[in-house]
Structure 1
Amino acid sequence: MEGQQTPEILDYRNENGNGWSFYKNDGVLRRIGSTPEDDIEMIRKVQKLELRDDDVLIAAYPKCGTHWLWEIVTMLRAGNSEYQKEAKEVAMLGMPKYERADELPSPRVLNSHLHFRHLPEKLAEKNIKTIFIMRNPKDVSVSYYSHVNGMKASFRFDGTYSEYLELFLEGKVSSGDYVDYVKDWLQVKQDNPDLPMLTLFYENLKMDPVKNIKTVADFIGVSVSDELCEQIAEACSFKKLRAADTEVKQHTSNPSDIWKEGHQGMYRKGEVGDWKNWITVAENEIFDSLIERRFEGTGIVFTYE
C-alpha cells in the first residue's frame, strides 16, 4: 500500500444514522468493513488469483440466487444431489476465506458478487465458463434488506425497509448500485465475445427448475439424465436448502452469533413477487420510473410476479 493515496471516505448514513460508509475502488462503491486499505488489498489478491481451465464462475449481485445456483452447479458436476458442506464460502471470491479456494479440488465452482474488473485478471483470457444470474430488483431490495437487517454485526442495518429502499435506489448499499452491476456484466459480454457466458434469470429458474438445470448442464458440458435434474431441483428447493443450511451451521457455528433471533438466515422465502408485501404504491411508482429509465435499451425484461 506504500505510496498509495488514502481513498476518500463517503458517509451515506441517513438522518437516523442507518446506512454505511463507503470508498470508491475503480468507480465501484465499496462498503468499508475494516479499512479501505484492507479492502483494496483483498481485491488486489483476488485479481491475481490463479484460475484453472476447468473452473466455473457464478457472478451475481447479492440476493440474486448465488448460493442456490452454486448448489445446483456443484451437484451437476458431482453427478448427484448431495449437499456440499464446506466449500461454498471458501469458493466465494471477495469473502474472507476465499484464499483457501486454492485448496479446493478441481473442478471448482467459484462464485462472487464482485464486479468483473475486480475478479481474477485471467478470467477472459482463459475463457472461464461464467454464469451470470439476475433477479427482478424489487425482490432483490426486499431480500437484501432482510439480510442486512437480520445480521447482528457485519452488515447491520437497524432502519425500516423504506429507509433501506431509499439507499438501495441511490446505489448506496453494500455491493453498490444494482443497475450498474447488471449493465457492467452486459458490457463484459459485449467486450469479450469469446468469453463463454450463460445468462440466467432467477424467476425462470424458480418457475421451471428442471429445464434451467438442463440448460446449465449443457453449458458446463455435463451429461445428465432427466431423473438427476429432477433430483437436483428437489434438493435445491428453498425449503430443503434452508433446512440443509441450518443443519450445516449448527455443526460449524452458532447461528445466534450471526443472525438476530427469529431470522431465517441465508435462505428466506425465495418467492417471486414478495415485494408486494413491502413496497408502497408511491414507492412502487418511483421504482418503476427508475427501472424504465435506467434499463432502457438493455433489452432486459424482468418478471415481477
Structure 2
Amino acid sequence: MEDPQTPEILDYRNEKGQGWRFYKIDGVLRRIGKTPEGDMKLLKKVQTFQLRDDDVMVAAYPKCGSHWLWEIVTMLRAGNSEYNKKTKEVAMLGMPMFERADELPSPRVLNSHLHFRHLPEKMVEKRIKTILILRNPKDVSVSYYCMFNGMKESIGFDGTYSEFLDLFLEGKIPNGDYVDFVKDWLHVKQDNPDLPMLTMFYENLKKDPVKEIKAVAEFLGVTVTDELCEQIAEACSFKKLKAADKEVKESFGDLPNPGRKVTLGCTEKVKLGTGRIG
C-alpha cells in the first residue's frame, strides 16, 4: 500500500459547500476524518489483521445489503435463526474499533466496505471464503442519500438528493466510486483463483430469499433444512431486523446499536429508503 507522508488533499465540495474533502491512496478516495495519516494507519492495521482459517468475509459497498447478509451468514453458521446480540460493526474491518473482532469466538463472520487490496494480506493464502453482494446503483444512491439525510450532523451533508446524485455519479463520496468498487471486486476472483468467492445480488435475495440462503449455505458447506432457511429468511426480513437492532443488539464500544443511533429517512420524496427495490 502506498504510504505518502503528506497526501494531496482533494476538496470535492460543490459551490453550496455540500460534499467532502478526500485524500487518495492506492487509487481510492478516502474521506478525511481527523487526519489522513490516522486513516492510513487504520488501513495498515486492517491489512495486517490476523485472520483465522474458518473466518468468512462479507464484502459490499455501503447500502448493498452487508447488514442483511451478515445476519444471514451468522445464523447459518450458528445453525439457528436466533439473532446474535453483537452488531456487524464489531466485526467490520475498517471501523475505528475493528480490532475488537479478536474478542469474538470462532467461527467469525467478518464484513467490510473496503476494496480487496485494503483487506488483510492473507485473504488468499488462507482461502477465506468471501461473499460479495452487489446492488442496482440507482437503489444504492437513494439508500445512501437517505442514510446521510438522517445523519446530517455526523456525516456533514445537508444537500438535496439531486446534489448528492451528482457527487455519487462522479465517485466523490465516502467509500469512493461505486462502479470502480464493483469492477475491482469482479476482477478479484479472476486474479485470485484460489480465493473461494460467491457473488450475490441484493435483488435476487429480495426476490427469493430462501433460494439465495440455500446457495449461501452450500457455498459455506453448511447442511440446512428447508425449514431453517425459511426461518432465517423470516428473521432477516427488513421489518424484523430493524426491530432486532432496537431490541436485541448490544452497543459497540462507545457507539449505540444501529437501531438507536440515528433515525434514517429522507426529507424529500425519494423512494426506496425502506429496503424496497426498483
Normalised to the residue count of structure 2, the TM-score between the two structures is: 0.91
Deviation at 1:87, TM superposition (A): 4.3
Deviation at 1:152, TM superposition (A): 3.9
DSSP 3-state at the match of 1:154: helix
Larger relative contact order (CA 8 Å, sep ≥ 6): 2
Alignment of 1:59-208 (within 5 A): 59-208=59-208
Determine if contact 1:29/1:176 at 8 Å carries over to the other structure: yes
Give distance in 1, aligned partners of 2:129 and 2:140: 25
Give distance in 2, aligned partners of 1:137 and 1:262: 18
Deviation at 1:123, TM superposition (A): 0.4
Deviation at 1:269, TM superposition (A): 1.0
Deviation at 1:257, TM superposition (A): 8.2
| Structural RMSD (CA) | 2.0
Give distance in 1, aligned partners of 2:130 and 2:103: 21
Which structure 2 residue ranges, 5 or more long, are not aligned?
267-271
Deviation at 1:246, TM superposition (A): 2.2
Question: Which shows bigger deviation, 93-102 or 67-76?
Answer: 93-102
Determine if contact 2:146/2:265 at 8 Å carries over to the other structure: no
DSSP 3-state at the match of 1:199: strand
Q: Tell me: CA distance 1:134–1:4, structure 2 relative to 1, closer, same or farther (3 Å).
A: closer
Determine if contact 1:93/1:110 at 8 Å carries over to the other structure: yes
Determine if contact 1:33/1:154 at 8 Å carries over to the other structure: no
Give distance in 1, aligned partners of 2:257 and 2:132: 32
Counterpart amino acid of residue 97 in structure 2: K
Q: Does 1:11 align with 2:16?
A: no
Q: Give the match for residue 274 of structure 2.
A: 269
DSSP 3-state at the match of 2:182: helix
Give distance in 1, aligned partners of 2:34 and 2:81: 38
DSSP 3-state at the match of 1:111: strand
Determine if contact 1:153/1:258 at 8 Å carries over to the other structure: no
Deviation readout 1:114-139 (Å, 9 max, x if unpaired): 00010000001111000000000000
Q: Tell me: CA distance 1:216–1:260, structure 2 relative to 1, closer, same or farther (3 Å).
A: closer
Q: Give the match for residue 228 of structure 2.
A: 228
Give distance in 1, aligned partners of 2:16 and 2:130: 40
DSSP 3-state at the match of 2:193: coil
Equivalent residue in structure 1 for 2:262, among 259, 264, 268 = 259
DSSP 3-state at the match of 2:155: coil
Q: Give the match for residue 269 of structure 2.
A: none
For these two proteins, the number of residue pairs brought into alignment is 268
Deviation readout 1:276-297 (Å, 9 max, x if unpaired): xxxxxxxxxxxxxxxxxxxxxx
DSSP 3-state at the match of 2:213: helix
Deviation readout 1:71-112 (Å, 9 max, x if unpaired): 000000011111112241110000122111111100000000
Normalised to the residue count of structure 1, the TM-score between the two structures is: 0.84
DSSP 3-state at the match of 1:223: coil
Give distance in 2, aligned partners of 1:144 and 1:189: 27
Give distance in 1, aligned partners of 2:59 and 2:169: 21
Give distance in 1, aligned partners of 2:265 and 2:206: 25
Counterpart amino acid of residue 208 in structure 1: D
Give distance in 2, aligned partners of 1:176 and 1:7: 16
